[in-house]
Amino acid sequence: MTEVLSQDEIDQLLTAINAGDTEPEDFRPAADTRKIKIYDFKRPDKFSKEQIRTVSIMHDTFARLATTNLSANLRSIVHLHVASVDQLTYEEFIRSIPTPTTLAIINMDPLKGNAILEIDPAITFSIIDRLFGGTGEGTKSQHELTDIETSVMEGIIVRLLGNLREAWSTVIDLRPRLGQIDTNPQFASIVAPNEMVVLVTLETKIGDVEGMMNLCIPYITIEPIIGKLSAQFWYSSVRRGTTTENLNILKDKISNASISVSAEVGSIQVTAKDVISLRIGDIVNLYNSRVDEPFSLNIGNKRKFLCRPGVIGKKIAVQIVKKIAEFEQDEFEELTSDETEILNG
């Protein structure tokens, strides 16, 4: 805080200056020590730190899915992880990638515009070598892809786009489609050179071969959903999406599950000798059951319903008359057990 001088102090300073004892230069204000951040108006930041962090989290999911996908398809150890997420101009991105390389132009429907998935040549030829039955070492000579190699890479990229759609599902129902594959960055002009893009760099390792995958998304493409890239929206979407997804999976699994259902007429404890001696036509007296009482319908080993016997056509059937509540199940089982012990006592 600036110190305020009293009137006496001001008078003393003026007297000293007039007498020549002090030079006016001695009273110059102290230099401003504040840190100044340089801002380039030709390259404005479009994404906030929070939005960049959300994009990084989304593509961490993509990296995990792509790792599993590529490992299964290549039958090799594959590892992907997000190395960095940066914002830069499209021209800087184009200058930073080698020639030739694998450039996949991706339609980002329902978003407007395209994105680019760039795959390092070392990774590209390692994938092709693995799919052609090789060890995945690739080739040292860099050349443009042949028609067969392009077709092979199209299949791999389409599978990766399925992983990308799943990773983005918490923000938007993205339906990415592969447009074309180029090898010369100069021919891949999806936006103006000075347009800002977000660049997701994925370190990729296939066996002993290492390289990079770069996903370049222009700001004008992602702008309509920029508000959804906040951490609060993303985490809330993850919770909702995960819950709904899990419920649907559980419903599908349960609907196709097989489980035993049995109608229990009654129960009695007998010796093993009596069981062995049973013959067709023998009558077993169930002391703890009455004719007018409903049966217990068991789902697995749990009593769930009360039912009455009957027939449908020529088939024996039961009719459910009541659902047994949980506390009634415990009581029902306990009473039956006690009665059985008394009867056998």
pLDDT digits (tens, 9 = 90+) for 173-231: 889 999 889 888 888 888 888 888 999 999 999 988 889 999 999 999 888 888 887 76
Confidence check: pLDDT of 34 > 70:
no
Mean pLDDT of the chain: 80
Which pLDDT belongs to residue 330?
Answer: 52
pLDDT tens for each residue of 216-255: 999 998 888 888 877 666 555 555 555 566 677 777 777 7
Average pLDDT over residues 114-130: 91
% of the chain exceeding 90 in pLDDT? 20
Domains of the chain are 49-234 (3.40.1550.10), 261-344 (2.30.330.10)
Which pLDDT belongs to residue 66?
Answer: 92
User: Which phi-psi region, left, alpha or beta, contains residue 239 (left: φ > 0; alpha: ψ -120 to 50)?
Assistant: alpha
pLDDT tens for each residue of 294-309: 888 888 888 888 888 8
Give the SS3 label for residue 250.
Answer: helix
Confidence check: pLDDT of 20 > 80:
no
Which pLDDT belongs to residue 275?
Answer: 85
Which pLDDT belongs to residue 154?
Answer: 92
Give the SS3 label for residue 165.
Answer: helix
315-333 per-residue burial string, b: 16 or more CB within 10 A, e: under 16: eeebeeeeebeeeeeeeee
Which pLDDT belongs to residue 80?
Answer: 92
Q: What is the pTM of this model?
A: 0.57
- Asked which of 83-87, 127-131, 266-270, 332-336 is least confident by mean pLDDT, the reply is 332-336
- Starting at the edge strand that comes first in sequence, how are the strands of the sheet with 102-107 ordered? 78-89, 196-206, 209-218, 114-119, 102-107, 177-182
Confidence check: pLDDT of 37 > 80:
no
Which pLDDT belongs to residue 341?
Answer: 46
Q: Are 188 and 103 in contact (CB under 8 A)?
A: yes
User: Which phi-psi region, left, alpha or beta, contains residue 300 (left: φ > 0; alpha: ψ -120 to 50)?
Assistant: left
Q: Quote the tokens at residue 151.
A: 């077709």
Alpha helices in the chain (DSSP H): 7-19, 49-74, 90-96, 121-131, 147-168, 219-222, 231-255, 272-276, 326-344
Confidence check: pLDDT of 76 > 70:
yes
Which pLDDT belongs to residue 339?
Answer: 44
- Using pLDDT thresholds of 50, 70 and 90, give the confidence band for residue 75: confident
Give the SS3 label for residue 46.
Answer: coil
Q: Are 177 and 106 in contact (CB under 8 A)?
A: yes
- Asked which of 20-29, 111-120, 220-229 is least confident by mean pLDDT, the reply is 20-29
User: Which phi-psi region, left, alpha or beta, contains residue 85 (left: φ > 0; alpha: ψ -120 to 50)?
Assistant: beta
